[in-house]
Amino acid sequence: MTSRRANAKALVKDSVNKEGGCVKEASKEYQPTGVGSRLTEILLAIGAVLTTVGFVLAFTIAAPVNGATVDGVELIGDTMVANQQLFSQKIFYFHMPVAVVSFVILGFAAYCALRYLMTKRAHFDMCSQVATRVALLFVVMTMITGVLWTRFEWGVWWTWEPRLTTYLILTLMVMGYFVLRTAIDEPERRATFASVFNIIMFIDVPICMLITRMIPSSVHPVVFRTDSGLSPDMLIPLLMNLFGMLCIGIALYQLSARNEHLAQRLEAIKEVLDRE
191-213 tens-digit pLDDT: 999 999 999 999 999 998 888 77
The residue among 100, 130, 142, 141 whose CA lies nearest residue 247 is 100
Strands 74-76 and 79-81: antiparallel
Q: Which pLDDT does position 261 carry in this prediction? A: 82
Name every residue whose Cβ is closer than 8 Å to that of residue 36 and which is 6 or more positions away in sequence: 254, 258
Q: 14 lies in a domain?
A: no
Query: How much of the chain exceeds pLDDT 90, in percent?
Result: 42
DSSP string, 248-259: HHHHHHHHHHHH
The lowest-confidence range among 34-43, 81-90, 262-271 is 81-90
Q: In 86-216, which residue ranges form alpha helices assigned H by DSSP?
A: 92-119, 122-154, 162-183, 187-202, 204-214
Identity at 108, one-letter amino acid code: F
Which CATH number characterizes residue 270's domain? Answer: 1.20.120
As to burial, measured by CB atoms within 10 angstroms (0-12 exposed, 13-18 middle, 19+ buried), residue 231 is exposed
The residue among 247, 237, 264, 265 whose CA lies nearest residue 39 is 247
Name every residue whose Cβ is closer than 8 Å to that of residue 38 and which is 6 or more positions away in sequence: none
Please tell me the distance from the alpha carbon of residue 111 to that of residue 210, in angstroms, as a whole number. Answer: 20
The residue among 91, 62, 89, 86 whose CA lies nearest residue 233 is 62
What's this model's pTM, rounded to 2 decimal places?
0.78
Binned at pLDDT 50, 70 and 90, residue 86 comes out as low
Task: Please give the average per-residue pLDDT across 131-144, as a whole number.
Answer: 95
Q: How many domains does the chain have?
A: 1
| 3-state percent breakdown (helix, strand, coil) of the chain, nearest 5 | 75, 5, 20
Q: 177 lies in a domain?
A: yes
Tell me how far CA of residue 257 lies from CA of 61, 97, 99, 217, 224, in angstroms.
Answer: 38, 22, 21, 42, 32
Name every residue whose Cβ is closer than 8 Å to that of residue 101 and which is 6 or more positions away in sequence: 138, 242, 245, 246, 248, 249
Q: 92 lies in a domain?
A: yes
Q: 11 lies in a domain?
A: no
Digit-coded pLDDT (tens) for 114-131: 999 999 998 999 999 999
Q: Yes or no: say if 69 and 161 are a contact pair by the CB < 8 Å rule.
A: no
Q: 21 lies in a domain?
A: no
Q: 24 lies in a domain?
A: no
Q: 217 lies in a domain?
A: yes
Q: 113 lies in a domain?
A: yes
The residue among 89, 125, 96, 88 whose CA lies nearest residue 14 is 125
Can you give the residue range of the structural domain that contains 141? 2-6+33-275
Please tell me the distance from the alpha carbon of residue 120 to that of residue 190, in angstroms, as a whole number. Answer: 12
In this structure, is the dihedral angle defined by the CA atoms of residues 134, 161, 93 and 103, taken in order, positive or negative? positive
Q: Which pLDDT does position 221 carry in this prediction? A: 60
Task: Please give the average per-residue pLDDT across 32-57, as a whole number.
Answer: 84
Q: Yes or no: say if 128 and 113 are a contact pair by the CB < 8 Å rule.
A: yes
Asked if residue 223 has pLDDT above 90, the reply is no
212/244: higher pLDDT: 244
